[in-house]
Amino acid sequence: MIEGQEKRIPIDDLLVFHQLARSLTSSFDLATILRTILDHMERLIRAEMWTLLMLDEPTGELYYAIAAGGKEEALRELRVKVGEGVAGWVAKHGETLIMPEQSPSLDIDPRLSVTQNAVRQRVRSVIAMPLRGRTGVQGVIEILNPQHGQLTDYTIAFLHILADHAAIAIENARDVARIQDLTITDDTTGLFNMRHLYVVLNRELQRCRTSEIPISLAFLDLDRFKRVNDLHGHLVGSELLARTGQRLRELSRPQDLCFRYGGDEFVILMPATQAGEAYTHMESMHRKLTETEFRIREGLSLHVSASIVSVRASTSFLAADRVLNSEHG
């Protein structure tokens, strides 16, 4: 290159950068974004395995959100603690780690990055990059056993660009998801709110009408709940409502949806459930709920009693709408 002449990026690579940016900013769906990241990794660098680990903040562990290379099923249930293994080291320090073949290990055993015995992958070399957002490291991109000659400065620079764009896209998707959750979630209980009940009910009834599958609704009303507020104050009342909502969710089946309808009233939506089955299930839930002891604070434990106002099954939107209006209109 002539001295003083600017080194330019080839136009084809600029188009790749542009396509990457557009792909990662065209959706707020996290699964779509993760798949886009993995697709670009696979196109960019030939390797035996590509993985993207996300940080689960409550547990402080990394989980394999998406992977390619034939070990996806085995990786799905695995967890890597922050600080352990290659990915854990990168998540803890927020720095890129590149380990070519026959390089010193920096006291890190690369095999730990694919976890003990569950995935037998002989690791000869690895590239691991943090996904750093505004609030810190959100995950790690990990490429295992890249082919010889793939670890060029240009490739590493492109991976850094990919990681930066990916972190922004992931953070934006999570922000949008949090906002959406706020619009459909009751502040006190964490259950879905009444507005979302009507949205879900309309959707489920459309599906039921097409497939002729029943849907059941159950209404629960806490008994004499006003006395809790009068005796112990509204803070205790709110805590008891929150704990009751959590308990209802625990007692519900995986396919059921729990809503706070208002005040001390709750709705359980049971898709593909006939009235008889719904009654049986609600009787079991009611018994277990009334047997539950809620320890609000030291020296204060409360029980709740509840009335099952009604259990209705329907395949008709108009019929279900009349149930809602007649019971709580």
List the domain boundaries for the chain.
Answer: 11-178, 194-328
Give the total residue count for the chain: 329
pLDDT of residue 17: 65
pLDDT of residue 15: 62
194-328 maps to CATH 3.40.47.10: no
Average pLDDT over residues 256-280: 91
pLDDT of residue 228: 93
Strands 79-81 and 97-99: unpaired
Average pLDDT over residues 211-235: 90
Please state, in angstroms and rounded to a whole number, the distance separating the CA atoms of residues 307 and 291: 14
11-178 maps to CATH 3.40.50.970: no
92 pLDDT band, cuts 50/70/90, is very high
Average pLDDT over residues 294-320: 74
Nearest to 287 by CA among 308, 256, 311, 309: 308
Q: How many C-beta neighbours within 10 Å does residue 98 have? A: 15
Average pLDDT over residues 175-186: 80
Nearest to 162 by CA among 24, 10, 13: 24
Please state, in angstroms and rounded to a whole number, the distance separating the CA atoms of residues 143 and 64: 13
Higher pLDDT, 25 or 212: 212
Please state, in angstroms and rounded to a whole number, the distance separating the CA atoms of residues 329 and 314: 18
Instruction: Find where tokens 């730990």 sit.
Output: 112
Higher pLDDT, 166 or 258: 258
267 pLDDT band, cuts 50/70/90, is very high
Strands 294-297 and 300-302: antiparallel
- In the three-class reduction of DSSP (H, G, I as helix; E, B as strand; rest coil), residue 142 is classed as strand
Contact 131, 172 (CB under 8 A): no
Nearest to 316 by CA among 220, 199, 216, 218: 216
pTM of the model as a whole = 0.54
Please state, in angstroms and rounded to a whole number, the distance separating the CA atoms of residues 27 and 35: 11
Amino acid of residue 273: T
Average pLDDT, the chain: 80
- In the three-class reduction of DSSP (H, G, I as helix; E, B as strand; rest coil), residue 126 is classed as strand
DSSP class of residue 28 equals -
pLDDT tops 60 at residue 281: yes
User: Lowest-confidence range among 29-38, 195-204, 253-262, 297-306?
Assistant: 29-38
Summarised one tens digit per residue, pLDDT across range 33-90 is 888 888 877 877 888 888 889 888 788 899 988 888 766 677 777 888 898 888 899 9
Amino acid of residue 313: A
